[in-house]
């Protein structure tokens, strides 16, 4: 299998069901990464499925009271014009997934074990983690049990909520240095899924890349838009 090897971790939105669709979001990611990294073998790019682990969860009023659910309602109010999905579907796939991940310790451990298994089997050089995937990766690599063994991995996060005010209380904050080769964060100030805030970190293995776009209605949060941005290509992918 050719190098580099990439592990892709999607975000919120119930994306597992459409992962194998062509055309589709995963197909777009794969084609973009193959082009930018000069990869020809599809097997060099793997995707981590994890939505099924959320099916057993059902974030309720208690979880939302612990979390700051008001921010989700603000987002819903601002983007209420989007009627393509029902409110229940939107809640199940978007805010519920974030609340469930941050509040359910057992679910976190299951997802960490899943990530560890994918890293062990695929041995990626690069992990591309979008949205919720960025929270999962930061949690995993910042855990004391995972301080060694990942020195050859480059993490590329995009559309990350790590510096959102509502997230800080649930992660190691201020942002710590991760024990990996390199961490790039693709940031878009127009991302409306609580991901427009800069990751405030000054470490030799961390770099933020501004990947501005404002043409992805309604949220400016598309993982493909991030990885395919010209600055992501020139400042991240072309370094491999």
Statement: residue 19 has pLDDT above 50: yes
Q: Is residue 76 part of a domain?
A: no
Helix 132-142 crosses helix 95-103 at what angle (to 10 degrees)? 10
User: Which of the pair, 169 or 56, is modelled with greater confidence?
Assistant: 169
Task: Name, in order, each residue with C-beta under 8 angstroms of 205's C-beta and a sequence gap of 6 or more.
Answer: 177, 178, 180, 181, 182, 183
Q: Is residue 79 part of a domain?
A: no
pLDDT digits (tens, 9 = 90+) for 122-132: 999 999 999 98
What is the per-residue pLDDT across 57-79, written as a single tens digit (0 to 9) for each? 554 434 433 443 444 444 445 44
pLDDT tens for each residue of 124-181: 999 999 998 999 999 999 999 999 999 999 999 999 989 877 777 778 888 999 999 9
pLDDT in tens, 193-222: 878 788 989 999 999 999 999 987 778 999
- What is the per-residue pLDDT for 200? 85
Confidence (pLDDT) at 55: 58
Q: What is the mean pLDDT of residues 103-122?
A: 91
Domain residues for 160?
Answer: 6-54+107-239
Residue 119 maps to a domain: yes
Within a domain: 90:
no
Determine the pLDDT at residue 91. Answer: 38
Tokens read off for 223: 């993982």
- The predicted model scores a pTM of 0.82
In a domain, residue 75? The reply is no
Q: What is the pLDDT of residue 195?
A: 82
Does residue 59 form part of some domain? no
**Which is higher by pLDDT, 25 or 71?**
25
Whole-number average pLDDT of the chain: 82
CATH of the domain at 115: 3.40.50.1820
- Give the pLDDT of residue 167: 75
Total number of domains constituting the chain: 1
Residue 76 or residue 228, greater confidence: 228
Confirm whether 136 is domain-assigned: yes
Tell me the C-alpha distance between 92 and 79, whole Å: 16
The span from the CA of 42 to the CA of 31, in Å, is 9
The answer to whether position 97 is within a domain reads no
Strand 45-48 to strand 154-158: parallel, antiparallel, or no bridges (unpaired)? unpaired
């Amino acid at each position: 299998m050719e190098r580099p090897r990439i592990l892709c971790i999607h975000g919120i939105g119930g994306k597992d069901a459409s992962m194998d669709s062509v055309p589709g979001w995963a197909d777009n990611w794969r084609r973009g990464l193959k082009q930018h990294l000069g990869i020809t073998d599809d097997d060099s790019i793997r995707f981590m499925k994890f939505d099924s682990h959320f099916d057993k969860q059902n974030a309720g009023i208690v979880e939302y009271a612990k979390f700051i659910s008001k921010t989700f309602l603000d987002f819903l109010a601002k983007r209420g014009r989007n009627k393509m999905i029902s409110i229940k579907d939107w809640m199940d796939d978007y805010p519920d997934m974030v609340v469930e991940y941050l509040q359910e310790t057992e679910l976190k451990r299951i997802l960490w074990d899943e990530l560890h298994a994918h890293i062990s089997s695929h041995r990626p050089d690069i992990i591309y983690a979008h949205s919720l995937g960025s929270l999962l990766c930061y949690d995993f690599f910042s855990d004391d049990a995972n301080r060694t063994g990942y020195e050859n991995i480059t993490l590329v996060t995009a559309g990350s909520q790590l510096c959102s005010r509502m997230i800080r209380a649930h992660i190691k904050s201020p942002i710590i240095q991760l024990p990996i080769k390199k961490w790039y964060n693709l940031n878009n100030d127009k991302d409306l899924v609580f991901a427009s805030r800069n990751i405030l970190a000054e470490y030799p293995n961390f770099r933020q890349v501004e990947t501005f776009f404002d043409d992805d209605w309604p949220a400016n949060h598309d993982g493909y838009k991030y990885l395919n941005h010209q600055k992501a290509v020139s400042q991240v992918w072309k370094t491999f």
